[in-house]
């Protein structure tokens, strides 16, 4: 199958990944590729409704995990898989690594539970490349403090975000071929230089 390219962006709230999303897609467009920019939770009409619930309604930690994967199933079926089959570049602002970081690292769910959901929902499909924007606690905190209406996750305490960060780094050390860690403490220009080096083999 002539498959496109699947790239995901990850990091704690305040890591700054969204700042680089449009610029990243431009790099591929300049090389003549069709780029589909999307996000999780969300990416489909149903997914956006689930996003609203997930970000704003208190719920059991397992309900939360199940809803993230429900939204993901829809996202894969309606957006990601068709675009990849058409040979497009799909760039998603968050994907399954976020579930392992937030629901396992942050909330404490066992990884085995999520591995079951991952196998069911993704049937072996994984991103080709995951860019993990890693920042020091203080940098993320000061970036988060500028958010006017923080959602359920942004309102969590510092130790929650520390656990999320550690869970992301743990995944990066487990899947070093796929997950590349970006030092996002630096200026936008310095981060872009790191991104360009990492993207080179894919452009
Ligand atoms: P994000 O889009 O980064 O928020 P914002 O629009 O404020 O930048 O992500 C929404 C939140 O959802 C974020 O705090 C992380 C959380 N999340 C999970 O907990 N699990 C998941 O599987 C995903 C995809 C996101």
Which three-class secondary structure state does DSSP give residue 179?
Answer: strand
- CA-CA distance, 198 to 49, in Å (whole number)? 34
With a 6 Å cutoff on the Cβ, whether 39 touches ligand 1 is: yes
Which three-class secondary structure state does DSSP give residue 21?
Answer: helix
To which residue do tokens 């066992």 refer? 110
- CA-CA distance, 186 to 170, in Å (whole number)? 22
User: Cα of 41 to ligand 1 centre, how many Å?
Assistant: 6
Question: Quick one: which atom of ligand 1 is closest to the CA of 93?
Answer: 2
With a 6 Å cutoff on the Cβ, whether 69 touches ligand 1 is: no
With a 6 Å cutoff on the Cβ, whether 99 touches ligand 1 is: yes
Confirm whether pTM is higher than 0.75: yes
With a 6 Å cutoff on the Cβ, whether 10 touches ligand 1 is: no
- Give pLDDT tens digits for 133-170: 999 999 999 999 999 999 999 999 999 999 999 999 99
Question: Across 49-114, where does the E strand assignment appear?
Answer: 89-93
- Is the peptide bond preceding residue 11 cis, with omega within 30 degrees of 0? no
User: Cα of 120 to ligand 1 centre, how many Å?
Assistant: 21
With a 6 Å cutoff on the Cβ, whether 118 touches ligand 1 is: no
- Give pLDDT tens digits for 41-77: 999 999 999 999 999 999 999 999 999 999 999 999 9
Question: Quick one: which atom of ligand 1 is closest to the CA of 102?
Answer: 19
pLDDT for the residue 107: 98
With a 6 Å cutoff on the Cβ, whether 27 touches ligand 1 is: no
């Amino acid at each position: 199958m002539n498959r496109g390219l699947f790239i995901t962006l990850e990091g704690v709230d305040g890591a700054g990944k969204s700042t680089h999303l449009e610029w990243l897609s431009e790099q591929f467009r300049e090389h003549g590729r069709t780029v589909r920019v999307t996000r999780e939770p969300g990416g489909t009409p149903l997914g956006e409704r689930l996003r609203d619930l997930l970000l704003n309604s208190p719920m059991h930690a397992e309900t939360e995990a199940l809803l993230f994967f429900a939204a993901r199933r829809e996202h894969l079926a309606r957006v990601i898989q068709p675009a990849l089959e058409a040979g497009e570049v799909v760039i998603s602002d968050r994907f399954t690594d976020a579930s392992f970081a937030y629901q396992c690292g942050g909330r404490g769910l066992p990884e085995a539970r999520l591995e079951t959901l991952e196998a069911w929902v993704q049937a072996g499909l994984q991103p080709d490349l995951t860019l993990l924007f890693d920042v020091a606690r203080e940098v993320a905190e000061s970036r988060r403090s500028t958010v006017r209406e923080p959602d359920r996750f942004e309102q969590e305490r510092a130790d929650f975000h520390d656990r999320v960060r550690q869970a992301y780094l743990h995944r990066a050390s487990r899947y070093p071929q796929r997950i590349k860690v970006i030092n996002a403490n630096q200026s936008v220009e310095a981060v872009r230089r790191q991104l360009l080096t990492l993207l080179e083999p894919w452009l």
